[in-house]
């Protein structure tokens, strides 16, 4: 199992006092390896408890500081996840739905992909995507539910601030509440650092995802059909915020 490198640089933290200089979206001239794109490569990640690629980390720190000045404490719930961690999440859910809840395997898979990705297909593999909440707000239960970001919810004001400011720092909502959007359900907590994630998605689209998954061996993957995977790619990987394509 490959494990990513973690880099903590105080100089980077100290310099992020204003908006970071963002590269033009989609204009990062860098090649990404197959293993990078599916979460199996060693990559340099920055910031203790943040774990993002350097440019995304610098932008995140700047956004966090701006939010703090407006009374919000951006708290990272999840950022980089490698293939193997996503595999563990997937298998735990598959076992729970099939063994504890008695669901048929394909029904369990359909249930899982309401919010969770198939290992090797997660944007969290890239070191560009974040799940965030307002750490200043006390709330019980699962924090990553849409209702908590909507009118009357504990993160309502935070979500409004993000709607007005996140794109200034290069972070875009991935799974919007656009009525005609298919795939993963609305995730008001999931943002992506577009200057890197756009070219990574462009590179990812060149992967034969069906062949890649046919070479894996995790619980439930034997139930993937080519038809299911083609729909999954179109709906769950590509039917996202149009600004991230």
Domains of the chain (ranges, CATH numbers): 5-244 (3.30.1380.10)
pTM attached to this predicted model: 0.89
Average pLDDT, the chain: 91
CB 56 within 8 A of CB 169: no
Q: Rounded distance, CA 130 to CA 67, Å?
A: 15
CA distances from 228 to 84, 121, 211, 223, 225 (A): 22, 14, 13, 9, 5
Question: Looking at residue 31, what is its pLDDT?
Answer: 87
* φ, ψ dihedrals at 5, nearest 5°: -80, 145
Question: Looking at residue 5, what is its pLDDT?
Answer: 55
Provide CB contacts within 8 A for 11, sequence distance 6+.
Answer: none
Question: Residue 27's Cα: distance from chain center in Å?
Answer: 21
Question: Looking at residue 114, what is its pLDDT?
Answer: 97
**Mean per-residue pLDDT for 170-186?**
97
CB 143 within 8 A of CB 149: no
Question: Looking at residue 22, what is its pLDDT?
Answer: 45
Which has more confidence, 222 or 28?
222
Question: Looking at residue 100, what is its pLDDT?
Answer: 97
**CB atoms near residue 196 (< 10 Å):** 26
Over the stretch 7-50, which tens digit does the pLDDT of each residue have?
Answer: 554 334 333 334 444 444 444 446 899 999 999 999 999 999 99
Beta bridge partners, 173, equal 191
């Amino acid at each position: 199992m490959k494990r990513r490198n973690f880099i903590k640089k105080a100089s980077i933290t100290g310099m992020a006092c204003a908006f970071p200089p963002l590269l033009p979206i989609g204009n990062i001239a860098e090649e990404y390896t197959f293993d990078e794109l599916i979460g199996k490569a060693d990559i340099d990640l920055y910031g203790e408890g943040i774990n993002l690629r350097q440019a995304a980390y610098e932008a995140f720190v700047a956004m966090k500081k701006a939010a703090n000045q407006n009374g919000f404490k951006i708290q990272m719930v999840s950022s980089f996840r490698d293939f193997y961690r996503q595999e563990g999440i997937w298998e735990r859910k598959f076992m729970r739905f099939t063994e504890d809840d008695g669901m048929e395997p394909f029904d369990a898979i359909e249930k899982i992909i309401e919010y969770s990705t198939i290992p090797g297909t997660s944007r969290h593999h890239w070191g560009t995507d974040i799940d965030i909440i307002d750490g200043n707000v006390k709330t019980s239960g699962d924090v990553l539910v849409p209702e908590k970001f909507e009118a009357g919810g504990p993160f309502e004001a935070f979500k409004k601030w993000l709607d007005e400011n996140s794109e200034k720092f290069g972070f875009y909502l991935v799974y919007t509440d656009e009525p005609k959007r298919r795939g993963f359900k609305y995730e008001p907590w999931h943002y992506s650092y577009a200057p890197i994630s756009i070219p990574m998605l462009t590179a990812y689209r060149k992967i034969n995802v069906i062949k890649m998954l046919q070479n894996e061996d995790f619980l439930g993957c034997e139930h993937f059909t080519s038809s299911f995977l083609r729909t999954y790619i179109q709906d769950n990987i590509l039917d996202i915020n149009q600004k991230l394509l």
